Amino acid sequence: MKGERGVWQRRFWEHTIRDEDDLKNHLDYIHYNPVKHGLVPRVSDWPHSTFHHYVQRGVYTVDWGDFKAGLDADFGE
């Protein structure tokens, strides 16, 4: 946008992660975004995600984010 300064676009802002719960919420939001926007049907189907790394580390199960897994997917709204 002409005349804008700084790093962030108008509808974006910086956020300092406050604690472990805040980090988990942000990671959930980031990992679910490709599903939310209709790019893939399942979180695990998005190949460009750190989700796969977190699955290997045991943070998420491979079916995390599937509605049949019982997840409330209304992140960050």
Residue ranges of alpha helices (H) inside the chain are 20-36, 51-56
Question: How far, in Å, are 6, 16, 74 from residue 30 at the CA level?
Answer: 23, 15, 12
pLDDT tens-place string over residues 17-69: 999 999 999 999 999 999 999 999 999 999 999 999 999 999 999 999 987 54
pTM of the model: 0.72
Nearest to 45 by CA among 63, 60, 25, 29: 63
Q: How confident is the model at residue 70 (pLDDT cuts 50, 70, 90)?
A: very low
